[in-house]
Structure 1
Amino acid sequence: MTVRAVVFDLDGVIIDTEEVWEEVRRGYVLEHGKAFLPDSQSRMMGMSTPEWSTHLSAEVGVPRSPEQVAADVLGRMAERYRADLPLIPGSVDAVRRLAAHFPVALASSSARILIDQVLETAGLTGTFRVTLSTEEVPRGKPAPDVYVAACEQLGFAPEACAAVEDSSNGLRSAGAAGLAVIAVPHGVYPPADDALALASLVIDGLDELTIEVVEKLR
């Protein structure tokens, strides 16, 4: 079965925000007299908004409800995006290049409000046939839900789709859903070896993400 559609992750693939997320959430937690647990950062990468806000509230101990934590942190992230959107070099060109040949979708752990803001600022509104937040499916990454839903809405079986991912949980999510996985490892937050092993292709940068390499995946 050949690849007939491509599903992109957002954070760490199109925008370089993992460090921004960590800075904002660590600062927020510190303001409330708390500190990340040793595995908080790695666990939250790929979590949906309800999942990471519950982690900060229930496990880290921020004295706010998960809903309040989510609203606080998302407000701060939106401010950062409006001030300076950290696009990864080549990401917009890569999306447009593949969208000219394949139907493309977005499967992100970011909240809907942030997805829409990023696409507007980057000039990509309307480029993706489908955009999904893990808020809109039962479980966040590493569960396969968001990738399964993206493929369904595109109208293709997961086996006919490729995913472009950077994080451990994202790679696990796409792999569990049955997509051909392209890994673009983040330099600061590289994926775990077991997650990277799920990739059909590992590339160093988005300039390498061409129609030809996608067509050869299967």
Structure 2
Amino acid sequence: MFDLDGVLVDSEPVWEEVRRAFVADHGGTWQPDTQSRLMGMSTAEWAAYLHELGVGLAPADIARGVVEQMAARYRHGVPLMPGAVEAVQRLSEQVTLGLASSSPRRLIDVVLDGAGLTRCFAATVSTEEVARGKPAPDGYLEAARRMGISPRGCVAVEDSSNGLRSAYAAGMRVIAVPHPRYPPAPDALALAWQVLPGLDALTPETLS
């Protein structure tokens, strides 16, 4: 099971830039811990949180505006993490892959189509499609359900604190590939079964 943002796509800096500017442009105040709190939230959750920061729009309008700006940025090129395409293709030849992401469905599809990876995944889930975002396990549990497999038979690849907590809570073994700019909290990293320096180190042998 792959996460998307921060694992396959170097999107966290883009999300931060877009949402930080959106908050400033609409009367809100970005807090020192805002970015770390946002990582893993579902669309509805982060839109409601930005509204609480003082953005003078309804959460649905906040979500729509931010996602439109993200899609526009992606149309100019998807910022893939080093080794992302190769890692997915390498693993898909030997194991069944799923994806559980906090990104909206629209952006998941844009990224996977743009990278030519759609066919590599048996199931993809957006936390828009489940009751709760990360760190709740809902997205990972739903991906396993759609694939017809037990969560305890899955290995999840994650980067963020909330992502690691989510996959662990789902009962999956977790491989952490920490993002250098947004490293997970020590207590979250301690949940990882393995910690890898990058996707180049992720091989079928790593999973066994």
TM-score band by shorter chain is over 0.9
What residue number does 1:3 align with?
none
Which of 25, 33, 43 lines up with 1:31 in the alignment? Answer: 25
Q: CA RMSD in A?
A: 0.7
Q: What CA deviation, in whole Å up to 9, does each residue of 1:12-47 have, x standing for no partner? A: 000001010000000011111322123211111000
Q: What CA distance in whole angstroms lies between the structure 2 residues aligned with 1:66 and 1:195?
A: 29
Work out whether 1:164 is the aligned partner of 2:157.
yes
**Which structure exhibits the higher relative contact order, with contacts defined as CA atoms closer than 8 Å and separated by 6 or more residues?**
1
Which among 100, 106, 115 is matched to residue 122 of structure 1?
115
5+ residue gaps in structure 2? none
User: Structure 1, residues 104-154: CA drift from partner, whole Å, max 9, x if none?
Assistant: 001000000000000111011221000000000000000000011111111
**Paired residues for 1:63-212 under 5 Å:** 63-212=56-205
Percent identical among aligned pairs is 59
For residue 36 of structure 2, the aligned residue among 42, 60, 79 is 42
The answer to whether the 8 A contact 2:28-2:56 is kept is no
- 1:45-87 CA deviation, whole Å, 9 max, x = no partner? 0000000000001x10101000000000000000000102101
Q: Which amino acid aligns with 2:40?
A: G
Higher mean Cα deviation, 153-162 or 102-111? 153-162
| Length-normalised TM-score, structure 2 | 0.98
**Structure 1 residues 30-39 or 12-21, which shifts more?**
30-39
Tell me what 1:4 maps to: none
TM-score relative to the length of structure 1 = 0.94
Q: How far has the Cα of 1:165 moved from its partner?
A: 0.2
What count of residue pairs does the alignment treat as equivalent?
A: 208
Segments of 5+ residues of structure 1 without an aligned counterpart are 1-6
